[in-house]
Amino acid sequence: MEVFLQLLINGIMLGSMYAIISVGLTLIFGVVRVVNFAHGELLMVGMYAVYLLFLKFGIHPYIAALPVVVLLFLIGVLIQRFIIQPLLNADEHIQIFATVGLSTALVNLALMVFGADLYSVNAPDVRRSLEFGSFRVLIGQIVMLGSAIALVIGLHAFMQKTTLGRAIRATAQNRNAALLMGVKVDRIYVISFGLGAACVGLASALISPLFPATPTVGTYFVLTAFVVVVLGGMRSMYGAFFGAMIIGLVDSLSAYYIAPDLKEVVYFAIFILILIFKPTGLFGLGRGTE
Amino acid sequence: MKLLMKAALAAGLAMSATSAIAQVKIGALYPFSGGLALLGDESFRGLELATEERNAAGGLNGKKLEIVKGDAVDPNQAVGEARRLTSVDKVAVVFGTYSSSLSLAATQVTELAGIPYFELGAISDPITERGFKNLFRSNPTAKDFAASMVDGIAEAIAPALGVDAKSLKVAIIHEDSLYGQTVAGYQSARAKEKGVNVVETLPYSAKTVDLTPVILRLKSAGVDVVLQTAYQNDAVLFFRQAKEQGFKPKAVMGAGGGYSLRETAQAVGYENIEGALDVDFTQYKTNPAAAPGIGDFVTKYKAKYGMEPRSGHSLANYVGAKVFFDAMASAKDLSAPAIRESVLKIDMPIGSTASGWGMKFNDAGQNTRVKPFLMQWQGGELVTVFPANAAVAKMKTGLGQN
């Protein structure tokens, strides 16, 4: 029983890590309608940025979050403006190839600059474990959970309450109608991609103390992030959050009770079942909206 | 007088012509570019140093050795470069290769061409299990690593703890690609043979972002000794999360890979990796009594490259190359059968080379006199702790600084 509860705690913490990575992907996919295969590499860029700020200036990763979020926003804006925008009316396959190409280019750039070794931010305060009775949880994990919840609620409020948020939702629902209503669709796309990338910036600052940076670190997370996004119904922030929690829990429990090397099999099996019985995802809005 | 001068000139020309011919071309097939380049180059430096040393001492029976490099980035290119070396450059023998997949590919070419291939660093067992006649390997294989690890439990860990080896609960955990599968497979077989009490065998993906379920399983099973075969990322995760989950095994032992790299230790923190055991090629903090010439090698290396050796690969290649040069020198000619005959005659006891290995080749061309040393992270250095004659420090038990 004790182990089971510890596994539940770990699963929720793992889920919050997946959630915070998936939120940005959901935003980009939901609004710009681009499957961003370079998402994991944006995370990698963010983690190296956090590492460099730590190494050169001794900045704590949580403080580094601010400049890194801004940096990633700008990178997102540039990617949308100069890579995706020119291809907006092209076939979706072309857009996918563009993001895959970007992903490969970024991985190799990191290999050239940093080499294949891993680098780690040293933040012992974040890695301290708090003990509640016989249960343990890291301070960094609690911060991650809190940030994931705040980010999802904050983004949701932003989408519902602000003019920009409404314009983004309008663009997501119907690009042409939004255009006719006077929404500057191109600019909305640029901002949305920037916001999605900025979310990854936040994720990289929170993950850096817990996980070392390598050129391929993005690939460790991104497949799971795609599963989470589809499971959550493609465009729903809350859907992504709960999808991530489900994957986190399944990951943690199946690795213990079944086998660590079979956990992917288990959650992909669940994923396939959900797609068969509820093709729009758990929180999807129904056919035709995705 | 004029005639005499002409004759002398002619003789001189003839002599310089013969001295130009009096060279033995040897192929050096390593990954010099691409992702494996760093340790490929480190391996090559061992061969380069051995060659220079040999040439300075008069070469091969008076003939100078000349290295012809082949860049094997991937198995395809390894095949292409092996063909070039054997047919265009007409090398007498080929040395290589650092990476097992490159070796497996390149040796097929040399075997067909009837050119001897000296493997100095690739560890995959099947390389010398294919019945090749002109392939010889001086370094230990994955099976040797696994045997050293499993035997280390009874020979080193149990005595250090002062307990009976049979009472120790052992777990084998490994990443599930070819590397981890291979080593763990040999470990399981050896453990069965030696009656080691293995309570858990857990494979996991090297790309995992969470090893806590694995650690909780080890913790629930009350595991004393963990044998892990890991790359960097998973080694870092294991040490960090074991600490966070309060899992305190009596010993943790790795099979090279992530365990031997300084960056892993730095990411984990020296105070946390303190006490982790590791089996790998001989590293430099080893007692010269068991590895005569190891200090000399480091001095020569530093003089030539202006830095400390980056890993044990250069030493392993240096040791193997020296032994094979001797065999080539004592062969009656440089034909493949003569070299084979000469290599099979080598008989050097354990502790007679700079890496501490002995040399005795079986029919398959594999060196059978290698038992890798046990090393341990102590104070941020990887030091040899077992066997006693090779040790430079006393073995510690437990993990992390208390």
Q: Tell me which residues of chain A, numbers 65 to 124, contact chain B at a CB-CB cutoff of 8 Å.
A: 111, 115-120, 122
CA-based nearest distance B328→chain A, Å = 38
Distance, CA of B314 to chain centre: 9
Tokens encoding A242: 């709960």
Q: Cβ B209–A116 below 8 Å, yes or no?
A: no
pLDDT at position B402, please? 52
Distance CA B247, CA A19 (A): 28
- Give every strand in the sheet of B135-137, ordered side by side: B64-71, B23-30, B93-96, B117-119, B135-137
Provide the shortest C-alpha distance from residue A261 to chain B (in Å): 4
Q: How confident is the model at residue A284 (pLDDT cuts 50, 70, 90)?
A: low
Chain B CA closest to residue A17: B209
In a domain, A3, yes or no: no
Q: How distant is the Cα of B104 from the closest Cα of chain A, in angstroms?
A: 24
pLDDT band at A131; cut points 50, 70, 90: confident
- Partners of A228 on chain B (C-beta within 8 Å) are none
Q: Does A265 touch chain B (CB under 8 A)?
A: no
Residue of A nearest to B215 (CA): A256
CA angle, corner B270, sides to A125 and A215, nearest 5?
Answer: 75
Total domains present in chain A? 1
At A142-155, the pLDDT tens digits run 999 999 999 999 99
The alpha-carbon gap from A264 to the nearest alpha carbon of chain B, in Å, equals 9
**A140, part of any domain:** yes
Q: Which of B38, B208, B216 is closest, CB to CB, to A256?
A: B216
Report the residue of chain A nearest B36, measured CA to CA.
Answer: A116
The Cα B49–Cα B35 span in angstroms is 23
Residue-level pLDDT at A235: 73
Q: Does A6 touch chain B (CB under 8 A)?
A: yes
Tokens of A191: 């901002």
Contact A17 B209 (CB under 8 A): yes
Residues of chain A with C-beta less than 8 angstroms from the C-beta of B261 = 117
pLDDT for res B19? 46
Of A6, A217, A221, the CB nearest to B216: A6
Over residues B155-169, the pLDDT tens digits come to 999 999 999 999 999
> Mutate which of B177, B205, B210 to disrupt the A interface (most A C-beta within 10 Å)?
B210
Residue A33: predicted pLDDT: 85
Cα separation, A137 vs A68, whole angstroms: 26
Chain A CB contacts of B211 under 8 Å are: 260
> Do B208 and A260 make contact, defined as CB atoms within 8 angstroms?
yes
Per-residue pLDDT, B4: 55
**Mind listing the pLDDT tens digit for each residue in A94-103?**
988 999 999 9
Query: Which residues on B lie below 8 Å from A111 (Cβ)?
Result: 35
Helix, strand or coil for residue B97? coil
**Secondary structure class of A225 (helix, strand, coil):** helix
Summarize the confidence of residues A175-192 as an average pLDDT: 91
Task: Indicate which of A120, A139, A142, A224 best probes the interface with B, i.e. most B CBs within 10 Å of its own CB.
Answer: A120
**Using the beta-carbon criterion (under 8 Å), do A10 and B213 form an inter-chain contact?**
yes
Which of residues B99 and A290 earns the better pLDDT score?
B99
Q: ipTM greater than 0.95, yes or no?
A: no
User: Which amino acid is located at B68 in the chain?
Assistant: V
Q: Say if A228 falls within a structural domain.
A: no
Q: What is the pLDDT of residue B16?
A: 46
Which of A5, A7, A8, A10 should one mutate to test binding to chain B, selecting the residue with the greatest count of B CBs within 10 A?
A10
Whether A46 maps to a domain, the answer reads yes
Q: Does A16 touch chain B (CB under 8 A)?
A: no
Q: Is residue A74 part of a domain?
A: yes
Chain B positions touching A251 (Cβ under 8 A) are: 210
Domain annotation covers residue A251: no
- The pLDDT value recorded for residue B242 is 93
Q: Is residue A92 part of a domain?
A: yes
Structure tokens that stand for B251 in this block: 């010993």
CA distance to partner chain B, nearest, from residue A49 (Å): 17
Q: Map out the domains of chain B with their CATH numbers.
A: 2-140+291-345 (3.40.50.2300), 143-280+373-390 (3.40.50.2300)
Between CA A290 and CA A172 the distance in angstroms is 10
How far A166 CA sits from the closest chain B CA (Å)? 36
Q: Give pLDDT < 50 ranges for chain B.
A: 13-20
3-class DSSP state of A274: helix
Contact A242, A23 (CB under 8 A): no
**Pair B230, B203: CB distance under 8 Å:** no
* pLDDT given at position B10: 53
The DSSP string of B346-367 is --B-TT-STTS--B-B-TTSBB
Spatial distance between the Cα atoms of B48 and A289, rounded to a whole number of angstroms: 65
Give A214's contacts in chain B (Cβ within 8 Å). Answer: 232-233
Min Cα–Cα distance to chain B from A218, Å: 10
Q: Find the domain containing A73 and state its range.
A: 20-217
Q: Could A255 and B233 be called an inter-chain contact, meaning their C-beta atoms sit closer than 8 Å? A: no
Contact criterion met (CB < 8 Å) for B263 and A138: no
The residue in chain A having the minimum alpha-carbon distance to the alpha carbon of residue B238 is: A211
Residue A270 is predicted with a pLDDT of 87
pLDDT, one tens digit per residue, over A16-41 is 999 999 999 999 988 888 889 999 99
A119–B267 C-beta distance less than 8 A: yes
Give chain B positions within 8 Å (CB) of A211: 209, 237
Contacts by A166-171, CB closer than 8 A, 24 or more apart: A168/A31, A168/A192, A171/A31
B398's enclosing H/E stretch is none
SS3 B256: coil
pLDDT at A174 over 70: yes
- State residue B35's pLDDT score: 75
Please, what is the average pLDDT of chain A?
90
Helices (H), B114-177: 142-152, 158-161
Q: How far is B263 from chain A (nearest CA, A)?
A: 7
Domain presence at residue A116: yes
Partners of residue B176 in chain A, C-beta under 8 Å: 261
* Contact (CB, 8 A) for A190 and A14: no
Residues within 8 A of B (CB atoms), A 232-261 only: 251-253, 255-256, 259-261
